[in-house]
Amino acid sequence: SKPKVWISRPFFPDIVDRLRPYFEVCAETEDRKHSADELAVCLADADAAIIGLVERIDAATIAGAPRLRFVANLGVGHNNLDLDALSAAGIGASNTPDVLNETVADYAWALMLAAARRVGAAERWLRAGHWQGFRFEGWLGADVHGKTIGILGMGRIGQAIARRASGFRSKVLYHNRSRLDPRIEHDCGATYVDKATLLAESDHLILVLPFTAQNRHAIGAAELAAMKPTATLVNIARGGIVDEAALARALADGVIAAAALDVFEGEPAIHPDLLKLENIVLSPHIASASRDTRRDMAALAVDNVLAAFGHGPHAGRPPTILNPGVLADASRPVFPN
């Protein structure tokens, strides 16, 4: 019989159909997060899974999924996967890098511009019927063009954000665990600085860090205090990178001018102090949500699963596998062909 693939949320039927010649497809019809208990039931007899980035796969999940051989994550960030536990069990895992870089970079700019120019607050005010006519000194925001944009975490999304700055004649500073190759720095017009300089000199600071234990609350009260009082902060990475209580205080006290968050530490719960503020733009984790890119992400997840089981153009070589070591381990018949 065919191996079984479980798909945790509905997506593009024409893309799902590419699995059907090779797999028994069990696809959820409701787009929502599955709890650990639900995962245990759904994965009990699954050979492969395509999951959302809020579904946590850890050692306990794996222990209850004896047939599981491959997990494709619908997202680039994979802090929901315990890669060590997956690798130890010989289970491959993939994410969706690169196909979303430009779409996420567009959205980082959308949030930066919206926060700096107060788009959300002005719209709420207009819709509430407060507008009495054009005001010369009303709704003054901060410019983005010609200013210094800081990028903390400089992978390929950060580079795509940086490249957009040239049309705005903005200067780009970045900080990253490791410095980029000088040719890439030149290509995206970004200058490497230490974190303290990045915080002190950025007019607009965008966070693009992966979420790891070390990066939890990488931006807290001390970092916010080191920023310019006119600065805006944008987080499109993971919620836990920013200390939300500290951010709410900083925005209320004018420590920084504005912020925009697409991700939250306890999402979908939002820190209640953030909801009280007008100088913050809040969006529901949608940075990669363009029609084209979500299709590309779904297709890449499907390509990985097909390849892991020996099918399709990448047979045997899942194109964006995170733990390729599981493929090299010939002692285990990992992926039935």
Q: At its nearest, how many Å lie between ligand GLV and the CB of residue 10?
A: 18
Cβ proximity to ligand GLV, 43 vs 209, nearer residue? 209
Catalytic position from the list 24, 163, 267, 314: 267
Question: Least distance to ligand GLV from the beta carbon of 263, Å?
Answer: 7
At 21, which amino acid appears? P
User: 34, 204, 285, 311: which is the annotated catalytic residue?
Assistant: 285
Is 267 an annotated catalytic residue? Answer: yes
Whether the Cβ atoms of residue 42 and residue 22 lie closer than 8 Å to each other: no
Pick between residue 176 and residue 288 the one whose CB is nearest to ligand GLV. 288
**Shortest distance, CB of residue 56 to ligand GLV, whole angstroms?**
14
Structure tokens at 134: 């054009």
Minimal distance, residue 77 CB to ligand GLV, in Å: 3
Instruction: List residues binding ligand GLV (CB under 6 A).
Output: 53, 75-77, 100, 134, 288
Q: Which residue out of 238, 271, 294, 311 is catalytically annotated?
A: 238
Distance CA 286, CA 102 (A): 13
What Cα–Cα distance (Å) separates residue 219 from each residue in 11, 160, 236, 278?
34, 22, 13, 20
| Helix, coil or strand: residue 167 | helix
CB-nearer residue toward ligand GLV: 123 or 329: 123
Q: Is residue 314 among the annotated active site residues?
A: no
Which two tokens mark 113?
Answer: 């511009």
**Is 28 a known active-site residue?**
no
Nearer to ligand GLV, 134 or 331 (CB): 134
Residue-wise burial string across 44-79, b where 16 or more C-beta atoms lie within 10 A, e elsewhere: eebbbbbbbbbbbbeeebbeebeebbbbbbbbbbbb
Residue 46 and residue 65: Cα distance in Å, rounded?
A: 7
Residues taking part in catalysis: 238, 267, 285
